[in-house]
Chains A and B, each alone.
Chain A
Amino acid sequence: MGEPAEVAARSLTPGTSLTRDDAERLAGLLRVVSDPTRLQLLSMLLAAPDAEANVTDLTEPLDLTQPTVSHHLRLMVEAGVLRRERRGKQVWFSIVPERLAAIADILR
């Protein structure tokens, strides 16, 4: 291994990379989205008109019940991936804007 610390000082740029705290937070978030159904829901939201949809729209293409879809959506809201907004009688879901670009990359 030689002198790893010296090698590192030459070629790595510490400080620009993820800190342990950032990494822990991000890992927690990834544990929530690393599920095929949740990824499908995120992908449907990306493709939806105005990038938002309600539970009924999101349930229709999936072979799942509405309570199951609601459960997945709630977990993603709690993890800070989705935003929910009540307008009249409907609840609309969309991807949190700060997460949009990274999630679009993942779903390429």
Chain B
Amino acid sequence: MTTESGDEPLRPITRSAATEIAQQLKVLADPARLQLLALLIDHEGGEASAGELAANVAQSPSTVSHHLGVLHRARMVEKERRGTEIVYRPSHDALARYARLVETGSPGPAQGLIRVDAVLGRVADQLAARFSGIFSPETVERYVVESYQLLSGRARITRYLPSLTSSFAAERLTALAQAQGIIVKGVPEVLFVCVQNSGRSQLAAAVLKFMAGQRAHARTAGSAPARALNPELVTVLDEIGVPLGAEFPKPLTDDVVRAADYVITMGCGDACPVYPGRRYLDWAIDDPAGRPMDEIRRIRDDVVSRVEGLLAEVLPAGVSSGATRR
């Protein structure tokens, strides 16, 4: 298995991956949608409401909302309710695959680097408010900076990392608070770790979240994270009615291991630190990267049956798993 990060893929993409990407490109092949995505990517706060965007593209807010809905369904923007308004931001996939495409070339990489400090400062302020009473602003800032460095070490497009840094740092701070007993874990915490965090671990976490609902929580990480998710994941999960959510490949950190009750490793060898009091399982599941669709479906089905077995063990007796399937 080649997991060299920092190199362009030397192996041509499969037909099924090409089909997935073609579908996304068809959605993007529309001037209004391209302009909206470009505005979101260039937006210094990393997110905007339909009203803000409408003012910049000379279109009505309802037309803009429609296009944002189409982009959302194609997994290129994420949306979140903030008080009375809905804000949109580019998805990880959109940043990884299309940021360079919609760039006009005027803001060079140097300008991007200058902006990063200011944006990270804002991210730290937002998270400090969210974690106030749990962590000091200094701890939050240290986590934000470290999370940024962990992500940027593997990404070439550092300019677009702040929004990912925010969700990665928030997840790690929550895990840290759980591990230290400051936040009580209401439900069993399962951590799935594979090599690239773009296939197996994401499949397993999506299936677990779908089957367990609120009764268990899943996190994912990779020992050598890829730059983008495996494009076929959406399809094979969609076929069984499981949403993928706003996921992106991220590195393995100590805090998420410490917060876990169950650690499931898949092909990442001994990259995962071992702590007492956690149950460690190693699943021999093939890497779906570069495989034909039928094999990816077989891998998916393997993951589904293993997660069913895991939930039977993880969830308290009497709460049966599998009942929520489909």
A40-B12 in contact (CB<8A):
yes
Contact with B along A1-30 (1 / 0, CB 8 A): 110110110011111111110111011101
A36-B15 in contact (CB<8A):
yes
Residues of A within 8 A of B52 (CB): 4, 7-8, 11-12
A27-B31 in contact (CB<8A):
yes
CB of A31 within 8 A of chain B?
yes
Residues of A within 8 A of B26 (CB): 30-31, 34
Give 12 CB contacts A-B under 8 Å: A1-B61, A5-B55, A12-B55, A15-B106, A17-B35, A17-B39, A27-B31, A30-B25, A31-B26, A34-B29, A47-B12, A108-B228
B25-A4 in contact (CB<8A):
no
Question: Besides A31-B26, A108-B96, 13 other CB < 8 A contacts?
Answer: A4-B54, A4-B61, A17-B35, A27-B28, A27-B29, A30-B25, A37-B18, A39-B18, A44-B12, A47-B12, A104-B8, A106-B98, A108-B9
CB of A35 within 8 A of chain B?
yes
Residues of A within 8 A of B13 (CB): 39-40, 43, 107
CB of A46 within 8 A of chain B?
yes
Contact with A along B40-53 (1 / 0, CB 8 A): 00111100110111
> Which residue of B11, B30, B31, B48 contacts A11 across the interface (Cβ within 8 Å)?
B48
B29-A31 in contact (CB<8A):
yes
B21-A39 in contact (CB<8A):
yes
B residues contacting A by CB (< 8 A) are 8-13, 15, 18-19, 21-23, 25-26, 28-32, 34-35, 38-39, 42-45, 48-49, 51-56, 61, 96-102, 104, 106-107, 226-228
Question: What is the bound-complex CA distance between A5 and B279, given in angstroms?
Answer: 55
B56-A8 in contact (CB<8A):
yes
Within 8 A of B (CB), among A20-71: 20, 22-24, 26-28, 30-31, 33-37, 39-40, 43-44, 46-47, 61
User: Residue among B18, B39, B42 with the most chain A CB within 10 A?
Assistant: B18
User: Given the interface contacts A1-B51, A1-B61, A11-B52, does A24 sit within 8 Å of B25 by beta carbon?
Assistant: no
Chief secondary structure at chain B's binding surface: helix
Question: What is the bound-complex CA distance between A23 and B23, given in angstroms?
Answer: 18
Question: What is the bound-complex CA distance between A30 and B61, given in angstroms?
Answer: 25
Question: What is the bound-complex CA distance between A1 and B96, given in angstroms?
Answer: 31
B42-A36 in contact (CB<8A):
no
A36-B56 in contact (CB<8A):
no
A residues contacting B by CB (< 8 A) are 1-2, 4-5, 7-8, 11-20, 22-24, 26-28, 30-31, 33-37, 39-40, 43-44, 46-47, 61, 101-102, 104-108
User: Given the interface contacts A18-B34, A40-B12, does A105 sit within 8 Å of B97 by beta carbon?
Assistant: yes
* Chain B, residue nearest A31 (CB): B29
User: Given the interface contacts A4-B54, A36-B15, A44-B12, does A26 sit within 8 Å of B25 by beta carbon?
Assistant: no
Residues of B within 8 A of A20 (CB): 31, 35
B12-A106 in contact (CB<8A):
no
Question: What is the bound-complex CA distance between A60 and B56, given in angstroms?
Answer: 47
Residues of B within 8 A of A108 (CB): 9, 96-97, 226-228
Residues of B within 8 A of A35 (CB): 22
Residues of A within 8 A of B38 (CB): 17-18, 23
Question: What is the bound-complex CA distance between A107 and B106, given in angstroms?
Answer: 24
* Chain B, residue nearest A14 (CB): B56
B100-A105 in contact (CB<8A):
yes
* Chain B, residue nearest A40 (CB): B18
Question: What is the bound-complex CA distance between A44 and B104, given in angstroms?
Answer: 27
Residues of A within 8 A of B23 (CB): 34
Residues of B within 8 A of A33 (CB): 25
* Chain A, residue nearest B29 (CB): A30
- Distance in Å from the Cβ of B290 to the closest Cβ of chain A? 11
